[in-house]
Structure 1
């Protein structure tokens, strides 16, 4: 999608602080981190949200959730104490960019409610 900021990041038209890349996915540090470790994991293919996944995206979804996110959690050192994976869907779900992205957060206690 031509005006999608995450597509532009995936295509390297816009610089990012890249921490991972393969033929299907890129991951980069969030510009406004909510935790010491806060990276966004996005498919290179434009998929608007979880609701836009199709049957042909099964392998992509599995790759992100089974391969990439656990590998990043280990590499970024949050696998032993714990981390959170979040994806927002739709306006009321807090999705600000209409390109599927998973937040990987860790490096501090993320218990809810805080305290």
Structure 2
């Protein structure tokens, strides 16, 4: 896609610090890191959201994730990582090209996020479970 910043990075039109390049996937250092070593893993093909990706291509891209996480941990010495994917504008996806954040984490680091756990009432969980299973079939 001509106006996609990540497609321009893959094409070499915008410089990046590439750390992984395969037929299906591309990973590079985030220019606005939440922690040193913060990387982005993206598909080479342009898809705005995960649900648009063919399963085979998603599997090929995500197949690179374990090695990339290990490499980030080794290079940074971090004690853990967050792997985050924001899917859609309402979910805070700022670049409309599928991407996974690999963010090194250490005790007492500078950022955190908390999400308040909700509760299901009555049969709501079972009803949603049924609806999801139906949508998958």
Structure number with greater Rg is: 2
Aligned residues: 109
2:93 corresponds to which of 84, 92, 95: 95
**Relative contact order (alpha carbons < 8 A, sep ≥ 6): 1 or 2 greater?**
1
Secondary structure class of the residue paired with 1:88: coil
Which portions of structure 1, spanning 4 or more consecutive aligned residues, are displaced by more than 6 angstroms?
none
- Give, in angstroms, the shift of residue 51 of structure 1: 2.5
The answer for unaligned runs of 5 or more in structure 1 is: none
Corresponding residue of 1:105: 103
Q: 1:59 aligns with which of 45, 56, 72?
A: 56
CA offsets per residue over residues 16-59 of structure 1, 9 Å max, x none?
A: 01111011111000001002221001111001111222xxx212
2:72 alignment partner, one of 72, 76, 86: 76
Q: Distance in 2 between matches of 1:89 and 1:26?
A: 18
Structure 2 gaps, min length 5? 115-137
